[in-house]
């Protein structure tokens, strides 16, 4: 059993639309300074840094960290598609857990361009490669951005399997907007009705425009440390990582002709099962979840992959309000990727920040009552899924 890993400090910038943000290193510096201040430590206490981003040069991490201090520490640049931020967190956690370092900085950032999520993937990194047989079965193939085709196709498959109403997917976005209205760091704070969401431009059935996350710019950071570091500094941490796991694609992704499997359902299910086993906790113990709602279809699928409800029961779970305040588990109180925004490299670290604030009781108007156990889900196609369990210290 390795050393316990505490989340001592977190920070993030307000997310912004492309063209309306500072440069990536400025945002990363702001998030890093906020995390250091929250932790009550100096940059000289940081022994290693892990920098996550998807778009950029090979050593953007150094540029981002150098404005915090030039102490000569190792800086590791991390790219794992949309799960980049949580991958960087996992690497930082392993360094603490294994006794390699006592205090590390994890920072995620992204400065995106308009339409970035809809751009065609190049041949070298195309997550559609090997899935032509699956994609060709989806009506409208090549008529929408690749990501929308994949997740929209998964939503269609779910509808065909269970007879789910299109409005069920829209209800997820309606919830996201209500939650984000209480998050000053979210990109979209305006509440939308279900009717407005369903009336927005169709991107790829069953997804409408307001059911797709926007390309976003922003940064987030976290300070991780050991119990020994806390003792040495005379500090206490109120949140620690109880368990964490990453899963990558399984044969089912490529062999079962299933869009649901293609977008990472089995990866998420496997990673969640490992986290539940490691932590000794289950879905019923979780009070609050930040999950990867890049599209409403993925949030619906993830309820079942994480075991928040049984397979085939997501529609009832949604309409009964079990995914929001007063229900079984509050999902994406931050507004999620749909409304908070999705700066790829920052997303996983921003999820961590939100859950830390929730477990500390510092989430203001969006505070989940009596939050003691939190779950994080961050997925990237290509693929990797990281699931993390946090507990009050």
**Ranges of each domain in the chain:** 5-113+217-392
Q: Which residues of the chain have pLDDT under 50?
A: 117, 119-134, 136-140
Of 60, 82, 213, 217, the active-site residue reads 82
Contact by Cβ (8 Å): 381, 229: no
DSSP 143: S
Residue 54 and residue 77: Cα distance in Å, rounded? 10
Q: What is the pLDDT of residue 1?
A: 60
pLDDT at 115: 65
Give per-residue pLDDT as tens, 289-334: 999 999 999 999 999 999 999 999 999 999 999 999 999 999 999 9
C-beta of residue 253 within 8 angstroms of C-beta of residue 297: no
Task: Give pLDDT, residue 143.
Answer: 65
Q: Which CATH architecture has domain 5-113+217-392?
A: 3-Layer(aba) Sandwich (3.40)
Most distant CA atoms of the chain, gap in Å: 61
Q: Which residue has the tokens 């400090």?
A: 9
Adjacent-strand bridge partners of 240: 6, 391
Our answer to whether residue 82 is catalytic in this structure is yes
Does residue 105 sit in helix, strand or coil? strand
- Helix, strand, coil shares, percent, the chain, to 5: 40, 20, 40
| CB 336 within 8 Å of CB 293 | yes
User: What predicted TM-score, i.e. pTM, was given to this entire model?
Assistant: 0.94
Per-residue burial over 271-308, b = 16 or more CB atoms within 10 Å of its CB, e = otherwise: bbbbbbeebebebeebbbbbbbbbbbbbbbbbbbbbbb
């Amino acid at each position: 059993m390795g050393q316990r890993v505490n989340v001592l400090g977190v920070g993030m910038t307000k997310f912004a639309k492309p063209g309306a943000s500072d440069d990536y290193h400025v945002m990363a510096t702001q998030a890093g300074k906020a995390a250091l201040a929250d932790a009550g430590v100096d940059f000289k206490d940081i022994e290693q840094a892990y920098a996550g981003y998807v778009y950029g040069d090979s050593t953007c991490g150094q540029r981002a960290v150098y404005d915090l201090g030039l102490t000569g520490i190792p800086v590791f640049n991390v790219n794992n598609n949309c799960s980049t931020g949580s991958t960087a967190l996992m690497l930082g956690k392993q360094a603490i857990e294994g006794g390699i370092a006592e205090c590390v900085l994890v920072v995620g950032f992204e400065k995106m361009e308009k339409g970035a999520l809809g751009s065609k993937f190049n041949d070298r990194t195309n997550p559609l490669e090997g899935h032509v047989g699956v994609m060709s079965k989806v009506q409208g193939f090549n008529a929408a951005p690749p990501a929308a085709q994949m997740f929209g196709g998964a939503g269609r498959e779910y509808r065909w399997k269970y007879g789910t109403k299109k409005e069920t997917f829209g209800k997820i976005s309606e919830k996201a907007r209500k939650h984000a209205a209480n998050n000053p760091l979210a990109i979209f704070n305006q509440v939308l009705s279900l009717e407005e969401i369903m009336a927005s431009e169709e991107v790829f059935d069953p997804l409408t425009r307001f059911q797709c996350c926007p390309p976003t710019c922003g940064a987030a950071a976290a300070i991780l440390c050991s119990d020994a570091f806390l003792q040495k500094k005379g500090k206490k941490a109120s949140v620690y990582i109880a368990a964490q796991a990453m899963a990558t694609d399984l044969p089912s992704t490529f062999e079962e002709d299933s869009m649901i499997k293609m977008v990472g359902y089995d990866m998420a299910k496997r990673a969640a099962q490992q986290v539940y086993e490691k932590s000794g906790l289950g879905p019923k113990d979780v009070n609050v979840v930040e999950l990867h709602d890049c599209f409403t279809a993925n949030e619906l699928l993830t309820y079942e992959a994480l075991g928040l409800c049984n397979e085939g029961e997501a529609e009832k779970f949604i309409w009964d309000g079990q995914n929001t305040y007063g229900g079984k588990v509050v999902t994406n109180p931050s507004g999620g990727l749909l409304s908070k925004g999705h700066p790829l490299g920052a997303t996983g670290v921003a999820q961590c920040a939100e859950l830390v604030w929730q477990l500390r009781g510092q989430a203001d108007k969006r505070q989940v009552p009596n939050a003691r156990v939190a779950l994080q889900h961050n997925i990237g196609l290509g693929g990797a899924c990281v699931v993390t369990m946090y507990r009050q210290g």
